[in-house]
Amino acid sequence: MADAEDLPAGHFRLPEQGDLVGEITTVEADKEDTLIDIGHAHGIGYRAMVRANPEVSVWYPGEGTEVTIPGRFILPDAPREDIVINVAEMRLYYYPPAEDGEPRTVQTYPLGVGRQNWETPLGNTTITQMVKNPAWYPPESIRQERAEAGNPLPEVVPAGPDNPLGTRKMRLGIPGYLIHGTNKPEGVGMRVSHGCVRMLPDDVETLFAQVSVGTRVRIINESLKLGWADGKLHVQAYPYLDEQQGTTIQRITEALSEVQAALEGKEYQVDYARLKEVVEVPSGIPVALKAPPEPQEPPQPELRPTPFYDQLDLQFAYPGFHNHLAYTGEPYESAR
């Protein structure tokens, strides 16, 4: 049985309890690195890297610059089977069937998804066709758009380095939509497609080798994910899709409703100020919502009987003390 440390990047054992996988790490940039290069090497897309490293240059991070790898994820609120695509997160989760005697795992990959007015459709579907080294037959709508932009397309783009489908395509049951590779990997982690789901070249080949016609695909839009780990409720927030922008108050209200639903029947103190921060500035990094402990009362002095000889000491220290306290043979209570 392989240890968790032996799994490839982006592959994790499913937790026996809880909903989080992975970890946040840091690396040092090399001289020639871009933020995109570093992200792709660790299975993280463009937007996620920029959100996690707002002060780092995308194209010239600089040798020795510390770069955050946002590699911890709350699993989406969907059945943990087959493929789940979260458009808001721009990530795909694949839950392969477990082999006999082996623990279940999850694989997660960055995606490019449909841009505004060419949105990736939501819903439940399946893979209906799988093709290696596919040719591309651009739809009429895309050919018209490219012609108007002065960059006309042929009716067929053959397989090869100029083919935007890359080396693999998986046709979905939703007409006109695919999961495929790309010849422009820098767009993975962005909203750049005409609705199809793009994967990095190595990632799409890895996924292609494990799935088959009939594999279920669930496409969701979950911009706020909630999950448990180590007894704490965590939240992971992503920006709304452009066409779904709401006010901050609306987002906070929705977040409060989801948190309250997650806590139904539980006694748990939520750090609501932290929740508000996460919703206002969605970083895509899981944050624990455990409220700090209530302030404790300062310790009170212990009351104990004062021995007879202590009373004698008081008489010598304070003349006239015996006029105020007549010894009766019984100890009295004093604070010490």
CA dist., res. 237 & res. 4, Å (int): 26
Taking the chain, what is the end-to-end CA distance rounded to the nearest angstrom?
Answer: 62
Q: Could you give the 3-state DSSP secondary structure of residue 123?
A: strand
- Token pair 């779904």 is found at 244
Nearest Cα neighbor of 226 from 52, 18, 11, 23 is: 18
Neighbours of 195 (CB within 10 A): 17
Give whole-number Cα distances, 126 to 5, 179, 208, 215, in Å.
Answer: 32, 11, 14, 5
- For residue 38, the surrounding DSSP H or E stretch is helix 35-41
Tokens of 252: 């906070």
Catalytic residue from among 11, 40, 180, 194: 180
Per DSSP bridges, beta strands 224-229 and 232-237 are antiparallel
Catalytic: 322? no
- For residue 288, the surrounding DSSP H or E stretch is strand 287-288
The identity of residue 135, as a single letter, is A
The number of CA neighbours under 13 Å toward the Cβ of 292 is 4
What lies within 8 Å, CB to CB, of 152 at 6+ separation is 143, 146
CA dist., res. 315 & res. 317, Å (int): 6
Catalytic: 180? yes
- Identify whether the C-beta of residue 115 lies closer than 8 Å to the C-beta of residue 192: yes
Catalytic residue from among 11, 40, 194, 196: 196
Catalytic residues: 180, 196
